[in-house]
Amino acid sequence: MTTTSRQTQLRELIQTFLTERLDSKLEALPPDDPKRAELQTQFAWRNWINDAARRSAQIQCATHTLKPIHPDARGTNLYVAPQDLPALDEVGSHCLGSAYVDDVVGNAAALDVFKFLKLAHEGFTLLELACAQDADLAQALSTDPAEARQWMDAFAALVRPRGAPASHGYAKQLYWRVEDDAHDDASYHLIAPLFGSALAHTVWQTLQEHRFGDAAKASRQARKDGTDSDTPVHEYPHLAVRKMGGTKPQNISQLNSERGGNNPLLASLPPLWQTREQLPLSSKRLMARFGYRPEVKRTLQQLRQFLESNPPANQDTSQRRDAMVFDLLDEWLQLSATLRAVAPGWSQRPECQLSAAQKHWLDPEGVARAALDAPTQGHNVGDTLDDVAEDLARWLNSQLRDPLALGDPEFAYWRTLVRDELAQEAWALQEASDVC
């Protein structure tokens, strides 16, 4: 491409921008409105670019901004290309490399100047060309070299520091220890943190794409339909949104305005401790795990206190006592359901020391598969119910024996009560299995 051709294309790019902006304003005016002539004069080539160069001093490009810290803070905003930052293990603006978007702070009325400078030709914006003192852009802007240079210098100043670094009373500041002696004031640096605007915007764009993009919608539909998808589904639980700028987000920055003032905050919560699921591979561990359940502990304490109070031997006492035993059985059935949800066959491991009845009750499918290979290892339902009921009755007696004097009569009562409940549960499971 010849130099003259490139200059022509740059002029056409700029003229198209001016024409579209002028037309959008003229459409709102009646044909005889005197403001039409004012607008046409305002958007004449030399007039508009000269005014844009003048107004460019009212705005500044930035990657790290101050107003998100406090909207009334007046201080330094920094423009530091992320690819020029030192590489760190932590997540930060340096992770962006060259894939970032410039932000703009300053007078919101001058943001149209930045839109002009974002116009791109051959992969480079007018701002980048101005910073590089591109000769073709200079020729496209003006035939007067001095005037073109003045305009390009004014535009290029958007990415240059303005004045000495300054903080403000509304800005945050913190002391960061850099030496070993915490008692020595010289061991600290005073840091004035800024808002990583370029990083925040990239995070927002990523979340928007993962949550509302066409590919994300198609992936969620595929998951709903049970079909395959080449695009993973991304989930961001517990998102919060910080609104900045109120009804005028452009007063914070250009990118904040593009986000409508929305700044998503990823969940920053302490981790929840989750104990790794361990299978109870012995009767002792099984009953200990049952006894550790919070509801079991609470109900046992209530039952013990109730029986210690020596309640009268009447129907009300029987009903209250049995109701608490049934609560314990509910917890046992919940534990049983949890273990049945484990992949079948876990009870057939060599290290599993559960009784045959407990294996049959907690891992019925695994036991059934094993019985096909070794029929003599089978265990009928009646024996299972009897044995498991005895295990629970013996455990309950042992939990209440101190300080209560419980013996064989109480054991026999608990066993009958428990077996009846287990029989109903076994019947319900069989009915559900037949339906499936």
With beta carbons less than 8 A apart as the criterion, state whether 396 and 328 touch: yes
With beta carbons less than 8 A apart as the criterion, state whether 364 and 342 touch: no
Taking the C-alpha atoms of residue 217 and residue 119, their distance in angstroms, rounded to an integer, is 32
Residue 16: per-residue pLDDT: 95
- The residue written with tokens 């059935």 in the block is 333
What's the pTM? 0.58
DSSP 8-state symbol, 277: P
With beta carbons less than 8 A apart as the criterion, state whether 133 and 157 touch: no
With beta carbons less than 8 A apart as the criterion, state whether 45 and 29 touch: no
DSSP 8-state symbol, 213: S
Residue 376: per-residue pLDDT: 47
How many whole angstroms from its chain centre is CA 163? 39
Across the chain, which has 436 residues, the per-10-residue mean pLDDT values are 79 95 91 90 94 94 93 90 91 91 90 92 93 94 94 93 86 91 91 93 94 92 89 90 90 92 88 70 91 93 91 92 93 91 90 92 88 61 88 92 83 91 84 58
Q: Where are the domains of the chain?
A: 3-63+102-159, 174-179+186-265, 283-435
Residue 404: per-residue pLDDT: 80
Helix (H, G, I), strand (E, B) or coil at 91: coil
Q: What secondary structure does DSSP assign to 280-338, as a single string?
A: --BHHHHHHHHHHSHHHHHHHHHHHHHHHT---SSHHHHHHHHHHHHHHHHHHHHHHHH
Helix (H, G, I), strand (E, B) or coil at 188: strand
Residue 276: per-residue pLDDT: 58
Taking the C-alpha atoms of residue 307 and residue 376, their distance in angstroms, rounded to an integer, is 44
Contacts of residue 67, Cβ cutoff 8 Å, sequence gap at least 6: 73, 105, 195, 244, 251, 252, 253
Taking the C-alpha atoms of residue 312 and residue 165, their distance in angstroms, rounded to an integer, is 83
**CA dihedral over 198, 199, 203, 209, signed as positive or negative:** positive
